[in-house]
A and B are shown apart, each in its own frame.
Chain A
Amino acid sequence: MQFNSIPFLFFLLCVVPLYYLVPQKHKNVFLLICSYYFYFCAKPEYLILLLASTAVNYLSACLLERGNAKRVVLYFSLLFNIGLLFGFKYLNFFNGQLNYVFQQFRLDIHIPAFSIILPVGISFYTFMAIGYLLDIYWGDRRRDRNYVLFSLYLAFFPQILCGPIGRAKELIPQFVAKSVFKYDNFSNGFRLMLWGLFKKIVVADNLGVYVDAVFNNASRHSTLTVIVATFLYAFQLYADFSGYTDVARGIARLFGIKLMVNFRTPYVNSTSVTDYWNRNHISLTSWFRDYVYYPFIGTNTGRLKRYAGILLMFLLSGIWHGAGWMFITWGLIQAIYLVVEDLLHIGKKKNVTWAARSFNQLSTFILVSIGLLFFRLPTMADLCTVARVIAGNSWDLYTGGRALVFAAIGLFCVMLLDRFMDKKQFDEYIGGKPLAARWACYLTLTMMIFLVGNIDGQAFIYFQF
């Protein structure tokens, strides 16, 4: 069930009214059942995996709190969670690398590839579980006595498939608090959902038509076309993932739950790649900061150690995104950007001129877009093809038909609003406008979805992670 599908609309239409009809003490059980049903619809057999992961992690949390052999329990639980990720996400990649090594040494050994379909959302709920266990281990929070609360923390349906990677200290108290039907929750929820769907259906899916047409056949396109597609992919990924997050946050608001903010207008307001990472996929970046960087590197450390921390954090981020050298290289590139920026003090100056700020924003966008080529292209051979085309000298532009025109209109709206919103979210920003402006905005967005949206478009890109 995709957020932008008819079955999900029916699911939501049933779940929301029932949630408010269910007595307070059963609300979380109801929400958990609905979340499991939602996940069951994605792929029934992987619900068993989620249930097993929940049980093992809860048991680990219980043992961690008892205080006996805490470190052993932590290592076991981390091994379990990382083992799950490894088994389902990285095993075939690892086997492939081993086969390559065997081949180089002319050993007659071949490990067959396993037929494994990546369980949707495994990277997200596994990280949430690891975060929860580490919080208990460090004594930052106590284990929740209620198994349902812990299960709901991992399985809450608006965030299970693609995040944001929530924190127990923020989410669980909201599940515990008395849930009351509030107008504000609904108005803000619908605003976020509408804005998210607009970004997904009008911008991301229309851009996807162009980007796919170019990158699926890069050698047949011109230099200019491939350069344009490179930049448009950056916008597509942003519109797709931030669109998903907005819809997820909007749905959660319908139940009175505030999910973590995941994007703060990264493309139009970032003045450096460091700034970009403070604004883009915040839940993952902050997770790595809190559970990898600080524990391993600390806060007041030397430059070299800091750089090692950045490298570790982004290499892990690359691996988290997918099993492949392209993702690892992407992580490495991000780390290099950040280290170089730190060395050259880029983006640290205050009170810069408008021109300097604009230049920084543009160069940040270009650097990020180039890095994202490693994200988009499946193999190094594809990247070489794209590089060859870019190094060429053909300047006729593939226009891509009507989808690109519609995407451009939508993208202009998104970037314009992002520019004005800066660190605010859409619901906060539009909520402060006069009634007529608000309704004009809602109706324009809705009609644009109907008229120019790619309604029968693609799945969310981050489902593959």
Chain B
Amino acid sequence: MDKPLFTFNSDVFRVIAKLFFWLAVVYLLNVIFYLAISNCYLRLSGGVSGAKISATIRQKHDVFIFGASRGLRHYNSGIISNYTGLSVYNAADDGKSPAYQLGLLTLLLEQHKPRAVIYEVGDIMSVLARGDVDLYPYYYSNKDVRLLLNKKDPFSYIKFRFKTYAYNQRIFTGIRGLLPGKKTADDGYRPLYGCIKDKDKIEYRDGFEGPDDFSRSGTDTSMIENFRQFISVCESNQIQVIFAFSPTLTGYHATCERLIRSIALEKKIPFFDYSSDMRFKGNRKLFKDVNHLNDEGATLFSNDIGEKLKKLFADRTKDANN
């Protein structure tokens, strides 16, 4: 008689049993941690770093500012609000991609429809290749977010089987939700303080960096699609979109500026371009680093754009009344 290929000995049973036990305990711990962290995280309404989404979707403001670090550091919501007479919330966050902005908008629209959004477009190029889609906690609750995350990573549906993946690296943010302290809603603006030292060398540039070459390595072209989709979602919800390119120290022009200009022209979106504004260009006192204004610079910029927005909103109201 032929020998069997494989005998199911006690070692096989022990390995399988222990593997299943390990998996079962890990799964259970995952569920426990998920419930504990999500309970704390979703309570956060602002003032805690890393909880910008949960803070944003609780806001009921008229105007929201979208973007990455330049958006977050340059738009003083209070000042803009004073000029326009509308409530303003700064929803921008460090390193966030156009896919994140789209996801955040869909999450926001579940709760509230703003009157207008200001999109800081100077951030886009820097986040196209490496900007994150930090929407994980909303994977289970929002279909659009789920689609965005599944598109980003084809294995995300497996990773999200383990529920703590949704709160991967957010455990401290969640715990801070339990601690006493500043958790009340604020205006979202996070200023930078200090300025560039005189000894730091700065390379000044004029004109465009290069052609709109989105096929270059590292650039995720689907992010451009997300940017376009963001505008479509705003259009379909009758939310006014405003593009702004906040001041730069070096007169930097994003590679994709031509694309943004063409979209602005096509969709009749107002575009406030401060990228080469001579009040800011080369003025080290107004910048914390090459890409970011400090609080003084942000105040100056917010006053200026606030004035322009006031005029824009007034004109629009007039047009609507007529």
A interface residues, Cβ below 8 angstroms from B: 5-7, 20-23, 181-183, 186-187, 190, 219-220, 402-403, 405-406, 442-443, 446-447, 450-456
Indicate the member of A23, A442, A451, A454 with the most B CB atoms within 10 Å.
Answer: A451
**CB under 8 Å from chain A, chain B span 132-165:** 153, 155, 158-159, 162, 164-165
Which A residues lie within 8 Å of B12 (CB)? 181
From A182, A403, A442, B11 is in contact (CB under 8 Å) with A182
Which B residues lie within 8 Å of A450 (CB)? 26, 30, 33, 162, 164-165, 168
Beta-carbon nearest neighbor of A403 in chain B: B169
Which B residues lie within 8 Å of A405 (CB)? 172
Q: Are B169 and A406 in contact (CB under 8 A)?
A: yes
Do A21 and B6 contact each other (CB < 8 Å), given the known contacts A181-B11, A186-B15, A455-B165? yes
Which B residues lie within 8 Å of A181 (CB)? 6, 9, 11-12, 15
Query: Could you give, for residues 191-223 of chain B, a 1 whenever the CB lies within 8 Å of some chain A CB and a 0 otherwise?
Result: 000000000110000000000000000000000
Separation of A61 and B201 alpha carbons in the complex (Å): 60
Beta-carbon nearest neighbor of B167 in chain A: A451
Separation of A452 and B37 alpha carbons in the complex (Å): 13
Answer whether residue B20 sits at the interface, using C-beta atoms and an 8 A cutoff: no
Q: Are A443 and B25 in contact (CB under 8 A)?
A: yes
Answer whether residue B289 sits at the interface, using C-beta atoms and an 8 A cutoff: yes
Beta-carbon nearest neighbor of A456 in chain B: B153
Chain B interface bracket (under 10, 10 to 19, 20 to 34, 35 or more): 20 to 34
Besides A190-B19, A443-B26, A447-B29, 7 new A-B residue pairs in contact (Cβ under 8 A), listed by A number: A182-B11, A219-B200, A402-B172, A405-B172, A443-B25, A447-B164, A450-B168
Answer whether residue B5 sits at the interface, using C-beta atoms and an 8 A cutoff: yes
Answer whether residue B47 sits at the interface, using C-beta atoms and an 8 A cutoff: no
Which A residues lie within 8 Å of B11 (CB)? 181-183, 186
Separation of A447 and B171 alpha carbons in the complex (Å): 11
Which A residues lie within 8 Å of B153 (CB)? 456
Which A residues lie within 8 Å of B33 (CB)? 447, 450-451
Q: Are B164 and A6 in contact (CB under 8 A)?
A: no
Q: List 11 A-B pairs, Cβ < 8 Å.
A: A6-B155, A20-B6, A22-B5, A181-B11, A187-B18, A190-B19, A219-B200, A220-B200, A450-B26, A450-B162, A451-B171
Answer whether residue B318 sits at the interface, using C-beta atoms and an 8 A cutoff: no
Beta-carbon nearest neighbor of B7 in chain A: A181
Beta-carbon nearest neighbor of B21 in chain A: A439
Separation of A220 and B291 alpha carbons in the complex (Å): 12
Separation of A190 and B15 alpha carbons in the complex (Å): 10
Separation of A140 and B201 alpha carbons in the complex (Å): 61
Separation of A183 and B11 alpha carbons in the complex (Å): 5
Which B residues lie within 8 Å of A220 (CB)? 200, 289
Which B residues lie within 8 Å of A7 (CB)? 155
Q: Are A455 and B289 in contact (CB under 8 A)?
A: no
A103, chain B: closest CB distance, angstroms: 26
Q: Are B169 and A21 in contact (CB under 8 A)?
A: no
Separation of A115 and B50 alpha carbons in the complex (Å): 42
Q: Are B159 and A6 in contact (CB under 8 A)?
A: yes
Indicate the member of A7, A181, A190, A405 with the most B CB atoms within 10 Å.
Answer: A181
Query: Could you give, for residues 248-276 of chain B, a 1 whenever the CB lies within 8 Å of some chain A CB and a 0 otherwise?
Result: 00000000000000000000000000000
Separation of A402 and B173 alpha carbons in the complex (Å): 9
Beta-carbon nearest neighbor of A186 in chain B: B15
Which A residues lie within 8 Å of B50 (CB)? 402
Which B residues lie within 8 Å of A454 (CB)? 169
A381, chain B: closest CB distance, angstroms: 14
Which A residues lie within 8 Å of B9 (CB)? 181
Separation of A450 and B160 alpha carbons in the complex (Å): 11
A101, chain B: closest CB distance, angstroms: 31
Q: Which 8 A-B pairs have the closest CB atoms?
A: A183-B11, A6-B155, A186-B15, A450-B164, A183-B14, A451-B171, A21-B6, A446-B26
From A20, A22, A219, A452, B169 is in contact (CB under 8 Å) with A452
B43, chain A: closest CB distance, angstroms: 19
Which A residues lie within 8 Å of B5 (CB)? 21-23
B197, chain A: closest CB distance, angstroms: 9
Beta-carbon nearest neighbor of A451 in chain B: B171
Which A residues lie within 8 Å of B173 (CB)? 402
From B19, B22, B158, B167, A6 is in contact (CB under 8 Å) with B158
Query: Could you give, for residues 303-321 of chain B, a 1 whenever the CB lies within 8 Å of some chain A CB and a 0 otherwise?
Result: 0000000000000000000
